[in-house]
Amino acid sequence: MGGNHFETAIAAETAFYRAFENADLEEMMGVWAATPDIVCIHPAGPRLVGPVQVRESWRRIFAGGPSMQFAIDERQVTECRGLALHVVHELITVTGEAAPRRPIIATNAYRLAAGGWLLVLHHASPIAGVQAPAAPKSVH
């Protein structure tokens, strides 16, 4: 975990969604900080804390292989003193489904470490009252 060197939080976020699309566990964990305080909350899921729980959750999600494509929309970025918060809309298309799913709102927090920016929080939840778009926008 945390083996990559991302010069910006946006670069780390791009790698996060690429790993998600590719169902690549090692690439995914390379985006996360290797600290006990990392937190991941998948839609309607519990709070997962620390590298062991976070890794296991992604392993289970990726067990079926690649099946999702992401378009990121409405990114709001706040950055201050080595912490970057990104609030985004995830527009997800699942292989084999005719239409994109209902959008997800996600908060991704990145911390600047000695080697670069790393993910410390991913919290995703469906957006209440919002329907799925007709077609996703460009990826990332």
Residue whose pair of structure tokens reads 């709102």 in the numeric block: 105
Q: How do 83-94 and 68-80 pair as beta strands?
A: antiparallel
Q: Which pTM value belongs to this model? A: 0.86
Q: What is the pLDDT of residue 1?
A: 54
Q: What is the pLDDT of residue 136?
A: 45
Cα distance between residue 24 and residue 4, in whole Å: 14
Provide the CATH topology of domain 9-126. Answer: Nuclear Transport Factor 2; Chain: A, (3.10.450)
Structure tokens at 84: 């970057």
Question: Per-block average pLDDT, block size 10, for the chain (140 residues)?
Answer: 80 97 97 97 96 98 90 92 96 88 95 94 88 53
Sketch the domain layout of the chain as residue ranges.
Answer: 9-126
Distances (CA, A) of 37 to 48, 109, 121: 10, 12, 9
Helix or strand or coil: residue 75? strand
Cα distance between residue 109 and residue 98, in whole Å: 32
DSSP 79-102: EETTEEEEEEEEEEEETT-SSPPP
Cα distance between residue 112 and residue 81, in whole Å: 9
Closest to 4 in 3D by CA, of 84, 117, 121, 122: 117
Q: Answer whether 70's CB lies under 8 Å from 92's CB.
A: yes
